[in-house]
Amino acid sequence: MSETKVSQVKGSMLVGFVKAIKADTSGRLEALLTDEAKGLIEERILAAKWYPFEPYKSCFQAVCQVNAQSSPEIMRLFGRKAGEETMSSIYRTVFNKSTAEGAMDSFRVIGNTVYNSVTLHSEMLADNKIRISFHDFDPDFKEWYLVGLGWIERTLEMVIEKEVRSEIIEKSWEGAPATVFEMSW
């Protein structure tokens, strides 16, 4: 399995997790955080600033474990909601596209502006089917891929204005060289 090359993430991807952790009065989320993540949530998170990846991952995983009960379906639904909210506001330029390929081109650019290393490939398999693969990202970050599945699924639905079905056909956290999604409509 390849090593992760990503070491930084923009605050725009971190701020929602920090808010969720701060809003949790039970302390269950904070109890799951690394010491570095605990320090980070005390900072004022700026959307355009770069932050270290590992505390972001710790925050992300804690929220998925507690708020999504580590359920793949709940994480996918969380991704759909976050995708709709974020892509409709901060990254709304994705909607300048009208095709799945165009949406993925925009998504690729966005990914490279919020993570310092992620390689996303997309390939149309048919007029109504696309394959999306992720390379050079943390191969063991299962929660990110499950949330990402819902995020991309909902983004594509909003661009092409059709219901999208998705599945993960290769999983880097199970030893595959990349994580691969297939989406059809």
Can you give the pLDDT at residue 41? 94
CB-based contact 119:17 (threshold 8 Å): no
As beta bridge partners, residue 180 has 133, 170
- Apex 109 CA angle, 104 and 114, nearest 5: 120
Can you give the pLDDT at residue 95? 62
Can you give the pLDDT at residue 91? 65
Nearest to 41 by CA among 8, 7, 14: 14
Domains and CATH numbers, the chain: 8-184 (3.90.1520.10)
Q: How far apart are CA 152 and CA 106, in angstroms?
A: 11
Over residues 151-171, the pLDDT tens digits come to: 999 999 989 999 999 999 999
Proportion of the chain above pLDDT 90, given as a percent:
72
What is the average per-residue pLDDT within 27-31? Answer: 96
Distances (CA, A) of 179 to 6, 19, 163, 174: 15, 28, 22, 9
CB-based contact 86:44 (threshold 8 Å): no
As beta bridge partners, residue 122 has 132
Signed CA dihedral, 112, 116, 119, 120: sign only: negative
Residue 98: partners with Cβ closer than 8 Å, 6 or more residues away: 159, 160
Tell me the whole-structure pTM to 2 decimals: 0.90
* pLDDT at 76 exceeding the cut of 50: yes
Q: How far apart are CA 28 and CA 167, in angstroms?
A: 31
Q: Interhelix angle for 53-67 vs 11-23, to 10°?
A: 40
Q: How many CB atoms lie within 10 A of CB 156?
A: 25
Per-chain mean pLDDT for the chain = 91
CB-based contact 168:179 (threshold 8 Å): yes
